[in-house]
Amino acid sequence: MESMKFNSLRKIASILVGLSGLMAISACQQISPIKNSITILGDSFSDNDTGYSELTKNETEQTLKRLQQIRQQLQKHHSLAYKGPIRHIWDRAHANYQIKYEDNLRIEKQATLLLRDPDYLYRVSRRAEPYVYYILQEIEKRGLPGEILLLPVIESAYRPNAVSRSRAVGLWQFIPSTARFLGMKQDKWYDARRDVVVSTQFALDYLTKLNKLFEGDWFLTLAAYNGGQGTIQRAIKRNRRLRKPTDYWSLKLPRETHNYVPRFLAASRIFANPQDYVVNIHPVANQPYFSSIDAGGQLELQLAADIAGITLDELSHLNPGYRRWATPPTGPHNLVIPLYSSNRFRQGLASLPQSKRMRWAQHTVKSGDTLSGIASTYRVSLTTLKQSNKITGSLIRVGDRLLVPVNPMKGTSKKLASRERDNRSKSQHQDSDFHTVRKGDTLWHIARLYKLDIKTLKSLNGLNKDSVIHPGQRLRIRAITSSTEVALSK
């Protein structure tokens, strides 16, 4: 009897054997979240994996113990919506949970994967901070389940610049064909898939349409978002033909889609009750982080950053949809600006003369000049050159003066550009010795981010136990001596 019991335990534990070969997720690894292939977790096992017979009895029981602990926690939370006080954004999302609970071993397996690196979800939740308030607001406007806030955790680990091997891009991981089908703009100036605001609207609208198509079944909806609606519809037809159930759990699907919904459900349970899984989730404040502001026309990004009083890196991080040094000539011109800088940006933009929004070169047309030749000389597109000078045809005359938008990092003044890069590099190196406090920051979070203990952080900044930090305050996170190095957690 004891032998039979042990054999059954070994069969259950076999599901987790494939995990032994997986490397722990590191914040420094290249994230490669993709559709229809391997996801950010590096999930490379299948249900047919074998090898559990090679485990010792002790190893099997240890693995099974962890699985049983996760199962107990998952089963503990049958109720969907959170009823307590809203302490942070994750509570607010939890209060709007709508997707039914499912007791399935595949969910437990994915929860084990997500928890392999105990700091992974903390890093992801910290990275999500600038975006989640806006995303949850859009989710609620559409009446969608609060769990959808966790979808970018699975899709991109909340990296707006994530790119997959199948060329899926952005927080929501749109592949080029899907983006074109939905009407998302993609050109050399701008990629809507990377635009946090625009891609969120497209993703949520797309999920709404898929959910209507699959008659309110969120498991099928999410599977279709990952694998394509055609894949799911064909799987349903196949099961109907074989007189088999047509629910998500009964469908034969590609491995990625097979694991996708269980991983999403596991993430939603862990974020709802992190204390039960002994994992830290960054408590993002339930308040907006940014404003989306229409710049009203083409604007150089470095100038926009200067007006807002932030670095170009921070502006670019919040506006990854822009692929060049300025907003596109024909738009869009919306810029995501940190809330604490938004009023300053609006005021500065209002007082900025139109002629100062871009760096311009003036070209006097000579005999033999053509628009395409001039555009090539200044490394701008013909369309940009024509739009900048309100030219509808191709006729230009000798003596005409044309304005050409110039990339400040290119052009004829290479020495100036080099000097600007050097100055920016020095400034950024100096800035790396400091952390600018943002809303929601605590000394504990800052110390953890830079791998310091709180005592050291306080000592570097002359703080005591009664000291209070405030947004905009600069805290030193490196010692003044150049020999002291602090490893940054990326």
Q: Which domains, ranges and CATH numbers included, belong to the chain? A: 2-277 (1.10.530.10), 360-405 (3.10.350.10), 432-490 (3.10.350.10)
Arithmetic mean of pLDDT, 96-112: 91
Is 60 exceeded by the pLDDT of residue 141?
yes
Q: Which residues of 86-107 are buried (b: 16+ CB within 10 A; e: fewer)?
A: eebbbbbbbbbbebeeeebebb
Q: Which residues of 108-128 are buried (b: 16+ CB within 10 A; e: fewer)?
A: bbbbbbbbebebbbbbbbbbb
Strands (E), 2-140: none
- State the pLDDT at residue 76: 57
Task: Read off the tokens for 49.
Answer: 């994996």
Say which residue, 482 or 479, is predicted with more confidence.
479
Would you call the peptide bond into 332 cis, given omega within 30 degrees of 0 as the criterion? yes
Is 60 exceeded by the pLDDT of residue 54?
no
**Share above pLDDT 90 across residues of the chain, in percent, rounded to a whole number:** 49
Spatial separation of the C-alpha atoms in residues 318 and 134, rounded to whole Å: 13
3-state secondary structure of 371: helix
Arithmetic mean of pLDDT, 280-287: 96
Arithmetic mean of pLDDT, 113-137: 95
- State the pLDDT at residue 70: 63
Confidence of residue 236 (pLDDT cuts 50, 70, 90): very high
For the question of residue 155 being annotated catalytic, the response is yes
3-state secondary structure of 363: strand
Arithmetic mean of pLDDT, 297-324: 93
Q: Which residue is it, tokens 């139109």?
A: 354
Q: Is the pTM of this model over 0.75?
A: no
Task: Read off the tokens for 418.
Answer: 């080099």
Q: Which residues of 303-337 are buried (b: 16+ CB within 10 A; e: fewer)?
A: bbbebbebbbebbeebbbbbeebbbbbeebbbbbb
Spatial separation of the C-alpha atoms in residues 345 and 272, rounded to whole Å: 36
Task: Read off the tokens for 104.
Answer: 């399935």
The amino acid at residue 100 is: K
Is 50 exceeded by the pLDDT of residue 15?
no
Question: Is 315:162 a contact under the CB 8 Å cutoff?
Answer: no
Is 60 exceeded by the pLDDT of residue 439?
yes
| Active-site residue, from 155, 256, 420, 485 | 155
Q: Which of 310, 275, 307, 304 is nearest to 289 (CA)?
A: 310
- State the pLDDT at residue 314: 93
Spatial separation of the C-alpha atoms in residues 296 and 130, rounded to whole Å: 24
Arithmetic mean of pLDDT, 146-156: 97
Say which residue, 438 or 277, is predicted with more confidence.
277
Confidence of residue 470 (pLDDT cuts 50, 70, 90): confident
Please, what is the average pLDDT of the chain?
Answer: 79
Spatial separation of the C-alpha atoms in residues 195 and 201, rounded to whole Å: 10
Arithmetic mean of pLDDT, 306-319: 93
Is 70 exceeded by the pLDDT of residue 479?
no
Identify the burial level of 445 via C-beta atoms within 10 angstroms of its C-beta, where 0-12 means exposed, 13-18 middle and 19 or more buried.
middle
Arithmetic mean of pLDDT, 96-119: 91
Cβ neighbours for 402, distance < 8 A, ≥ 6 positions apart = 362, 363, 364, 365, 374, 385, 388, 389, 396
Torsions phi, psi of 44, nearest 5? -120, 10
Say which residue, 467 or 320, is predicted with more confidence.
320
Is 70 exceeded by the pLDDT of residue 163?
yes
Is 60 exceeded by the pLDDT of residue 468?
yes
Lowest mean pLDDT among 193-207, 210-224, 324-338: 324-338
Is 70 exceeded by the pLDDT of residue 50?
no
- State the pLDDT at residue 83: 77
Distances (CA, A) of 152 to 86, 91, 420: 22, 17, 36
- State the pLDDT at residue 464: 79
Is 50 exceeded by the pLDDT of residue 84?
yes
- State the pLDDT at residue 402: 85
Is 70 exceeded by the pLDDT of residue 32?
no
Is 60 exceeded by the pLDDT of residue 301?
yes
Cβ neighbours for 124, distance < 8 A, ≥ 6 positions apart = 153, 157, 158
Question: Is 16:63 a contact under the CB 8 Å cutoff?
Answer: yes
Distances (CA, A) of 409 to 82, 320, 426: 51, 18, 17
- State the pLDDT at residue 45: 28
Instruction: Encode pLDDT of 330-367 as tens digits.
Output: 899 999 999 999 999 999 999 998 878 877 677 888 88
Can you state the angle between helices 218-227 and 255-272, rounded to 10 degrees?
130
The amino acid at residue 172 is: W
Spatial separation of the C-alpha atoms in residues 149 and 140, rounded to whole Å: 10
Q: Which residue is it, tokens 């009023």?
A: 343
The vertex-479 CA angle with 476 and 481, nearest 5°, equals 140
Distances (CA, A) of 298 to 84, 294, 327, 479: 47, 10, 5, 42
Local structure of residue 480 (DSSP, 8 states): S
- State the pLDDT at residue 157: 96
Say which residue, 29 or 317, is predicted with more confidence.
317
- State the pLDDT at residue 476: 81
Local structure of residue 16 (DSSP, 8 states): G
Spatial separation of the C-alpha atoms in residues 142 and 205, rounded to whole Å: 8
Confidence of residue 80 (pLDDT cuts 50, 70, 90): low
- Terminal Cα-to-Cα distance of the chain (whole angstroms): 51
- Give the other-Cβ count within 10 Å of 440's Cβ: 17
Q: Which residues of 59-68 are buried (b: 16+ CB within 10 A; e: fewer)?
A: ebeebbebbe
Confidence of residue 455 (pLDDT cuts 50, 70, 90): confident
Is 60 exceeded by the pLDDT of residue 394?
yes
Lowest mean pLDDT among 221-230, 266-275, 394-403: 394-403
- State the pLDDT at residue 444: 77
- State the pLDDT at residue 24: 33
Arithmetic mean of pLDDT, 13-22: 39
Task: Read off the tokens for 254.
Answer: 């590609």
Spatial separation of the C-alpha atoms in residues 243 and 237, rounded to whole Å: 10
Say which residue, 477 or 136, is predicted with more confidence.
136
